[in-house]
A and B are shown apart, each in its own frame.
Chain A
Amino acid sequence: MPKIIGIDLGTSNSAASVMQGDTPVMIPAAEGASIGGKAFPSYVAMTKDGQLLVGEPARRQAVANPEGTVYAAKRKMGTSEKITMTGKEYSPEQISAFILQRSSATPKRSWANRSPKPSSPCRPTLTTRNAKRRKTPAPLPDWKWCAS
């Protein structure tokens, strides 16, 4: 039976947790605890070689690769604004999807052979002033690889 994980998709940091009995337990990020504790920073980066980095590794190379690094993309969710990373355009929802995939990938490693099913992520709370909220939420990425 697949475990249900709860994902907190935050503007600055994101985290995932799982229920162990009656207690929610936060899953530490694969790179270890960062400044945000067990959470990992909501950074996404595309290197010049085309490698996608999410979390702490993306934050660490932000100074060296500013045109390929994105953070706080959640603030743009609900707008039609596009975010450019190394010449390619992404919607804020796509950037958030990379972060969600990273959140789901960490528990899959620690609970081997027990694929986690993600619950609904939190709604955006901090958005830009003129952001129009969509009437219907943007579709989440395909979760087929998460199914048990």
Chain B
Amino acid sequence: MEENIIDPKDQTIDDLKKQSDEYLNGWKRAKADLANFQNDTAKERINWAKFASAGTLQRLLPALDTLYAAAEHAPGLNDTLKKFEEYLRGEDVVAIDCQGKYDPSVHEVIGMEKKDGAEAGSITVVAQRGYKLHDQVLRPAKVIVAE
């Protein structure tokens, strides 16, 4: 009978040990979370710097589309177009290739048409040019594909 009686001091020590383990685990978890947060923030900062101009470039693209359309009727605008293209190349903005079959990761299909001799799914018309910034899609190309 006496062996079954728990000394109150032992009980307190057990409780305190459990509490201390809980605090230690909580602290270790918080420390690991902080380390992970610091790593993630460092990676995010690099990404922010890399894609900081993405918003501005996206807003410039409609103007570039208008310039391309105007240059078809006014050849004098070709020099301006070349300077614009040179600036975009400097920012690592490249036009999306629209040859061959469409790729949903870079092309957006807006219509289909019948075209003799064209393979099904091949791009027949580029309605709007698409661009990539640092290998990420800035704007997908809008295309019409063959049925």
Is residue B36 within 8 Å, beta carbon to beta carbon, of the partner chain?
A: yes
Q: Does A61 contact B (CB under 8 A)?
A: yes
Q: How far is the CA of A110 from the CA of B107 in the complex (A)?
A: 25
Q: Are B111 and A57 in contact (CB under 8 A)?
A: no
B145 close to chain A: CB less than 8 A: yes
In this complex, what residue of A is CB-closest to B110?
A: A63
Beta-carbon contact of A60 and B32 below 8 Å: no
Given the interface pairs A1-B32, A53-B104, the reply to whether A60 lies near B40 with Cβ below 8 Å is no
CB <8 Å contact, A60 and B140: yes
Which residue from chain A places its CB closest to the CB of B55 in the assembled complex? A33
Q: Is the interface of A mostly helix, strand, loop or mixed?
A: loop
Which residues of A61-81 are within 8 A (CB) of B? 61-64
Asked if A60 and B108 sit within 8 Å, CB to CB, the answer is yes
Chain B: CB-nearest residue to A66: B112
Contact yes or no, B104 A57, CB < 8 A: yes
B residues with CB within 8 A of A: 29, 32-33, 36-37, 40, 102, 104-105, 107-112, 121, 136-137, 140, 145
10 pairs of A and B residues whose beta carbons are closest in the complex: A57-B104, A61-B104, A60-B108, A64-B109, A60-B104, A63-B109, A57-B105, A64-B145, A61-B109, A32-B136
